């Protein structure tokens, strides 16, 4: 049979495809619907938090930080309750990471504050002596992309039925109408911060990346 296959490239290719496609079907499909279910009471990310998640992605925090607490005592002692599948139901993409050069962040909102994050992102060694994490000062001046975060909320609401309110609607006009709500949320974060440039920017209606990122990190609980 193998000799025959080697002389018939088409059937050879079909054979290879069947053999490799098999495992994916068997392992991914059976639990797909179950794994997509949200935990009861889980709220979707706010637009500001989504913008923060996008900063988290843009600056690739995932390169060094995980968001997955494994069910070991050493991990639950250090980071809190182990992670549950339903907690991730609105995470597109999943941000579990694969390397812990720094600590896990899945419940960082439980034990770190806005103030701590502000100091840490400005100069990590000021709060964690010996840290090898770089400073992310540019997040204090770069303005977060709220429009894209809003577009993401609209997309997941309409395509994946993520439960957002009726004020999340397609179109630039709907976005303009929604913007003040995002700014109000940002102001609450900025009130706990001390960086003058950040405070000025928020007062002028702009949201620096650091504000969105902190909103997201505070949400991780």
Partner 1 sequence: MQSNAALEYDYTVAKLFTYTTIVFGLVGMLIGTLIAAQMAFPELNYLLGEYGTFSRLRPLHTNVVIYGFMLSGIWATGYYFMQRVLKVSMAESKLAMFLGKFHFVVYLVIATGMVVSLFMGITTTKEYAQMEWPLDILVVVVWVTWGLWMFTLIGIRREKALYISVWYYIATFLGVAMLYLFNNMEVPTYFASGGVGAITHSVSMYAGTNDAMVQWWWGHNAVAFVFTVPIVGMIYYFLPKESGQAVYSYKLSLLSFWGLMFVYLWAGGHHLLWSTVPDWVQTMASIFSVILILPSWGSAINMLLTMKGEWNQLTENPIIKFLILASTFYMLSTLEGPIQAVKSVNAIAHFTDWIPGHVHDGVLGWVAFMVFSGLYHMAPRIFKREIYSKSLIEAQFWIQTTAVVLYFTSMWIAGITQGMMWRAVDEYGNLMYSFIDTVTVLHPYYAIRALAGVLFMIGLVMFAYNMIMTMAASKKLTEEPQFRSPMA
Collapsed DSSP state (helix, strand, coil) of residue 208: strand
The interface region with partner 1, picked from 108-116, 125-133, 188-196, 200-208 by CB under 8 A, is 125-133
User: Of 23, 41, 161, 204, which one interacts with partner 1 (CB under 8 A)?
Assistant: 23
Under the criterion CB under 8 A, does residue 93 sit at the interface with partner 1?
yes
Cβ of residue 191: shortest distance to partner 1, in angstroms? 26
Under the criterion CB under 8 A, does residue 218 sit at the interface with partner 1?
no
DSSP code of 143? B
Under the criterion CB under 8 A, does residue 12 sit at the interface with partner 1?
yes
Taking the least distance from each CB to partner 1, the nearer of 108 and 202 is: 108
Q: Which residues contact 168 (CB under 8 A, 6 or more apart)?
A: 47, 150, 153, 154, 157, 174, 178
List the interface residues with partner 1, window 137-156 (CB under 8 A). 138, 142, 145, 147-152, 154-156
Under the criterion CB under 8 A, does residue 110 sit at the interface with partner 1?
no
Under the criterion CB under 8 A, does residue 163 sit at the interface with partner 1?
no
User: Of 11, 22, 110, 205, which one interacts with partner 1 (CB under 8 A)?
Assistant: 22
Closest CA to 49 of 174, 201, 162: 162
**Spatial separation of the C-alpha atoms in residues 63 and 218, rounded to whole Å:** 20
**Residue 9, class by beta-carbon neighbours within 10 Å (0-12 exposed, 13-18 middle, 19+ buried)?**
exposed
**Residue 142, class by beta-carbon neighbours within 10 Å (0-12 exposed, 13-18 middle, 19+ buried)?**
middle
Total binding residues for partner 1 by CB under 8 A? 89
List the interface residues with partner 1, window 72-91 (CB under 8 A). 72, 74-75, 77-78, 83-85, 87-91
Judge if the upstream peptide bond of residue 93 is cis by omega within 30 degrees of 0. yes
The interface region with partner 1, picked from 112-120, 168-176, 194-202, 212-220 by CB under 8 A, is 168-176
Cβ of residue 176: shortest distance to partner 1, in angstroms? 10
**Spatial separation of the C-alpha atoms in residues 76 and 146, rounded to whole Å:** 34
């Amino acid at each position: 049979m193998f000799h025959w296959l080697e002389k018939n490239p088409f059937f050879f290719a079909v054979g290879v495809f069947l053999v490799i496609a098999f495992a994916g079907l068997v392992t991914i499909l059976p639990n797909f619907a179950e794994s997509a279910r949200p935990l009861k009471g889980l709220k979707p990310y706010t637009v500001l938090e989504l913008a923060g998640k996008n900063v988290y992605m843009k600056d690739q925090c995932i390169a060094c930080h995980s968001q997955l607490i494994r069910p070991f005592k050493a991990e639950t002692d250090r980071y809190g309750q182990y992670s549950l599948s339903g907690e991730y139901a609105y995470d597109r993409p999943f941000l579990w990471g694969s390397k812990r050069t720094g600590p896990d962040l899945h419940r960082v909102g439980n034990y770190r504050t806005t103030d701590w994050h502000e100091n840490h992102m400005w100069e990590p060694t000021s709060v964690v002596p010996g840290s090898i994490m770089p400073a992310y000062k540019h997040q204090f001046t770069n303005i977060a992309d709220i429009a894209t975060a809003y577009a993401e909320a609209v997309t997941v609401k309409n395509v994946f039925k993520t439960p957002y309110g009726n004020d999340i609607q397609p179109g630039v006009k709907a976005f303009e109408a929604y913007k003040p709500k995002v700014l109000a949320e940002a102001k609450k974060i900025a009130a706990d911060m001390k960086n003058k440039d950040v405070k000025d920017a928020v007062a002028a209606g702009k949201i620096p990346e650091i504000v969105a990122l902190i909103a997201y990190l505070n949400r991780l609980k």
